Amino acid sequence: MSERFISTRYRTDCYHCGEDADQIIQAVSAQAQVVCSNCGATRVFIPRFETAGVIGTCTPIGRYDLWDIETEAWCKHCGVSGPHNLVVGSGHLTTRCGNCGYMHFYRFNLEYIDEQFADRGEVSAPPGSS
């Protein structure tokens, strides 16, 4: 990914492995993804729309808590690097420029387990029960 937009992490209980682990969040115009640093569970979000207008407050209904994160990013709309509001829910992910209000809206596409990613962490599989 050559374009660099949002790259941050958020520590919370993983919906998949249940561990308190960093969830690595990366977003570019074409895609956003959230990866658990412990188990490698990956959620992929694809863009739905981008808007400079105001949309009403989303009232998401989902299985997971909403993550409401503030992160630094470069806005392609106003060209300012600054704080962006990042919201991750079970079915969507949105980013909003703190300067001009430009929003990227992604919707959940698929999830999978990135075992290679998890292998880079310290995965100590318990020995088989005897």
**58 contact partners, CB below 8 Å, separation of at least 6:** 87, 89, 92, 94
Smallest gap, in angstroms, from Cβ of residue 19 to Zn ion? Answer: 6
Task: For the segment 60-79, give every residue that binds Zn ion (CB under 5 A).
Answer: 75, 77-78
Enter the tokens of residue 82. 């600054």
Task: For the segment 85-104, give every residue that binds Zn ion (CB under 5 A).
Answer: 97, 99-100, 102
Q: What is the DSSP string of 42-88?
A: EEEEEEEEEESS--PPP----SSPPEEEEEEEE-TTT--EEEEEEEE
The single residue listed with the structure tokens 């561990």 is 19
Q: How many CB atoms lie within 10 A of CB 62?
A: 11
Smallest gap, in angstroms, from Cβ of residue 63 to Zn ion? Answer: 15
* Per-residue binding letters, 25-54, with Zn ion (x by CB under 5 A): -----------x-xx-x-------------
Residue 9 contacts Zn ion per CB under 5 A: no
Cβ nearer to Zn ion, comparing 59 with 67: 67
Interface residues with Zn ion (CB under 5 A) are 14, 16-17, 36, 38-39, 41, 75, 77-78, 97, 99-100, 102
